């Protein structure tokens, strides 16, 4: 039976790499699929991993009817055996409903990849709808690590290395963005709660305020 599967995890846990691997494995068996993505780090219409692998994809723009796109492709004689969606957290809930229709009405497997919560630990609307509708939820087993070495469970947004907890839910940036640019970092829950990033932890370690003071 075809399924809507949601593969989720923090940043740096290999979601895009797995998406590329699933596409490669099916292509090697003669299957043809459609790859959707949104706001990939490599640019519009790209699916890329941090390992440097990149493939062409269809940019799932705001308001785009994903079900309609697949139906139109099929009606023009195209072949679609499966659908892969990366950065699925950025999709609107109605677009997730459209992916469910691809499974139920067209009989195609849909593999969606995304992070579940934003930098404020709030569910992305697209991820929430996937949790509600998916036939199967898969937590990726490649564990990202916090700077302290513990398992990273939360995504943090940084500006100049310092964690921020206010702002728009979606701001494009990359892991450990340079300088004063917007960046992202994965943290364990403890350090996310305390707003301690790798940069601020390093600064604290060098601060004389935290060094032991010799007693008389």
Question: Quick check: 126 and 91 in contact, CB under 8 A?
Answer: yes
**87 a catalytic residue:** yes
Helices assigned H by DSSP within 92-143: 93-106, 125-133
d(CA 190, CA 188): 6
| Nearest CA among 126, 119, 211, 132 for reference residue 159 | 119
What are the tokens at 2? Answer: 């075809």
Q: SS3 of 90, please? A: helix
Distances (CA, A) of 175 to 182, 183, 208: 9, 5, 29
| Nearest CA among 144, 88, 147, 99 for reference residue 2 | 99
Q: Which of 3, 87, 138, 143 is catalytic?
A: 87
What are the tokens at 123? Answer: 């569910």
d(CA 105, CA 6): 19
Please give the DSSP secondary-structure letter assigned to residue 124. Answer: P
What are the tokens at 118? Answer: 């934003």
- The set of catalytic residues is 87
């Amino acid at each position: 039976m075809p399924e809507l599967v949601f593969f989720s995890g923090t940043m740096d846990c290999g979601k895009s790499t797995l998406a590329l691997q699933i596409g490669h494995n099916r292509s090697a068996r003669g299957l043809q699929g459609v790859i959707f993505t949104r706001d990939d780090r490599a640019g519009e219409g790209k699916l890329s991993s941090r390992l440097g692998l990149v493939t062409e994809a269809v940019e799932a723009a705001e308001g785009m009817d994903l079900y309609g796109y697949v139906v139109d492709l099929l009606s023009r004689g195209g072949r679609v055996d499966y659908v892969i969606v990366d950065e699925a957290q950025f999709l609107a809930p109605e677009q997730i409903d459209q992916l469910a229709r691809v499974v139920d009405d067209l009989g195609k497997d849909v593999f969606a990849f995304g992070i579940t919560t934003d930098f404020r630990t709030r569910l992305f609307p697209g991820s929430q709808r996937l949790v509600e509708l998916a036939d199967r939820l898969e937590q990726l087993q490649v564990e990202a690590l916090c700077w302290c070495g513990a398992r990273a469970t939360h995504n943090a947004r940084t500006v100049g290395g310092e964690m921020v907890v206010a702002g728009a839910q979606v701001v494009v940036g990359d892991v450990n963005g340079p300088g004063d640019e917007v960046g992202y970092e994965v943290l364990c829950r403890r350090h996310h709660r305390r707003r301690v990033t790798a940069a601020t932890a390093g600064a604290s370690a060098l601060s004389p305020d935290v060094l032991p003071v010799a007693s008389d």
